[in-house]
Amino acid sequence: MEHNLPQRGSAKPLGREEASPREKKVFVKTYGCQMNVYDSQRMADALAADGFRPADTIEEADLVLLNTCHIREKAAEKVYSELGRIRLLKEERAKRGQETVIGVAGCVAQAEGREILRRAPVVDLVIGPQTYHRLPAVVQRAKAGEKIVETEYAIEDKFEHLPAPERRVVKSRGVTAFLTVQEGCDKFCTFCVVPYTRGAEVSRSVAQIVAEAERLADAGVREVTLLGQNVNAWHGEGPDGSEWGLGRLLFRLAEIPGLDRLRYTTSHPRDMDDELIAAHRDLGKLMPYLHLPVQAGSDRILKAMNRKHTASDYLSLIERIRKARPDIALSGDFIVGFPGETDADFEDTMRLVREVTYAQAFSFKYSPRPGTPGAEMDAQVPDKVKDERLQRLQALLAEQSRAFAESLVGVEIDLLLEKPGREPGQLVGRSPWLQPVIVDANAGRIGDIVPVKVLRAGTNSLFAERKVMSIKDNAMGVRV
Ligand code: SAH
Ligand code: SF4
Ligand code: F3S
């Protein structure tokens, strides 16, 4: 029945007669963390419902969206150099009579808002992470010539309003997927912009998460990584009315047929509760890999960072986790050169790293971010000192991840085959510990989890051979 009520919920694709004569194309360029990768897909889904198809190259795009990161100065500045290139592109297209709408989304959009329009007048729209469901409407207005800054926190739940991707689209994205379960952060570490760019901590409901995971599994996804800036702080009301934590949620998701691997990132040491540790002990589908950033090994610096835990809290937590799941591999984030960090403080970080032993880690020079307490602190560390410390820390971390990879040589592991490798006849998958593994196998096996034996460790990946032939193979190793 016809009615005049404004349309709510997921936007329906426009009818053919309403669609523009030429197909509209969007190019989304993603910077920053996995949450931005997820958001870029959801933006593409929202725009697909409005008739936009993905562009193969930026040159052919009618709409260019930069999904940006504000975490360190370098990350934020990249956006402006990219916008410089895009300005030329827009001028070229205009000469050919083609209109181009340029949008900045993500954390730089949220942090800098209108300032972006001032620094880069080529930009038509600025949209913060909380309002992506409004993107199709915002793009329409930008096309009509309006300059738009949409960075208010929306009262409505954006996830309720973002359309689910079509099954075909999910399939085209592969056999692994991200699923954001939690956004924002209330921790206010003194170096970090996230509480300002992503707002207060919010958890999605169990029902929403389960429904999305079921849709992914139905489209052939075998591995889901739950995402959140503070993913292990996720909490929600379960169907029984009780409060669930992430551990309980993982047990529920493990019941979904077809979903064989579960991961989550990023966690804060303060929110690793007993139930989550028990999930690592009891849940075979939960991969034995945990990204648990500590940032620094000195209690004085941890306090100044407002991390709300000491080095020994962290070490005893690791001990509990390893007791529950002895084969767990640990990953972390480190910042060197936080204001006031002395040589002795830095040595504490080195000692902690030696004690924990990481399979993988990310380390950064402290970057003062406007508006955060760290940027105002005295005793900023000179860049040269930060460089030296970073080099030493990275050498140690590289040695540890190399040793971890070497320790797997000769070991039989389960490999989820994800995509074609560089050479014909090769596929690349991920080990339970997230390392890329290269193996000879035919493309028909993508999505299978196969036992392989690790032959050698390369610089960034492992090389393996298929172990036992599965029922799907004949004597020639060819799929029948
Ligand atoms: N939510 C995650 C981390 C988000 S940011 C957590 O709490 O662990 C990812 C990493 O970037 C952080 O763990 C930190 O190591 C690094 N980082 C954040 N702000 C930074 C800054 N101002 N300078 C350098 N590195 C920073
Ligand atoms: Fe940033 Fe700290 Fe929150 Fe992580 S926990 S997002 S580092 S404020
Ligand atoms: Fe960057 Fe925002 Fe993620 S600042 S790390 S894109 S939450």
pLDDT band at 160 (very low <50, low <70, confident <90, very high): confident
- Please give the full DSSP string across 328-364, using - where no structure is assigned: -EEEEEEEE--TT--HHHHHHHHHHHHHH--SEEEEE
| pLDDT score, position 452 | 97
Q: Give the mean pLDDT of 428-452.
A: 95
Q: Is 253 in the pocket of ligand 2 (CB under 6 A)?
A: no
Assign domain 24-156 one CATH number from 2.30.40.10, 3.40.50.2300, 3.40.50.300, 3.40.50.12160: 3.40.50.12160
Query: How many Å lie between the centroid of ligand 1 and the Cα of residue 405?
Result: 25
Q: Is 32 in the pocket of ligand 3 (CB under 6 A)?
A: yes
Model confidence at 471: pLDDT above 90:
no
Model confidence at 19: pLDDT above 80:
no
Assign domain 412-476 one CATH number from 3.40.50.80, 2.60.40.10, 2.40.50.140, 3.30.1330.10: 2.40.50.140
Q: What phi-psi label fits residue 75: left (phi over 0), alpha (psi between -120 and 50 degrees) or beta?
A: alpha
Query: How many Å lie between the centroid of ligand 2 and the Cα of residue 265?
Result: 12
Ligand 2 atom at minimal distance to the Cα of residue 268: 5
| pLDDT score, position 153 | 81
Model confidence at 279: pLDDT above 80:
yes
Look up residue 9 and give its two tokens.
Answer: 């919920």
pLDDT band at 325 (very low <50, low <70, confident <90, very high): very high
Looking at the whole model, is its pTM more than 0.75? yes
Ligand nearest to the CA of 72: 1
Provide the CATH number for the domain formed by 159-407 in this structure: 3.80.30.20
Model confidence at 480: pLDDT above 90:
no
Cβ distance 18 to 6 under 8 Å?
no
Domain chopping of the chain, boundaries: 24-156, 159-407, 412-476
pLDDT tens-digit series, residues 88-141: 999 999 999 999 999 999 999 999 999 999 999 999 999 999 999 999 999 999
Q: Give the mean pLDDT of 347-365.
A: 98
> How many whole angstroms separate alpha carbon 346 and alpha carbon 381?
12
Ligand 1 pocket at CB < 6 A? 71-72, 191-192, 194, 229-230, 266, 268, 293, 295, 333, 335, 364, 366-367, 369
**Mean pLDDT of the residues in the chain:** 92
For ligand 3, atom 3, name the residue with the nearest CA: 33
Q: Is 197 in the pocket of ligand 3 (CB under 6 A)?
A: yes
Ligand 2 atom at minimal distance to the Cα of residue 195: 8
| pLDDT score, position 11 | 36
Burial class of 9 by CB neighbour count within 10 A (0 to 12, 13 to 18, 19+): exposed
pLDDT band at 341 (very low <50, low <70, confident <90, very high): very high
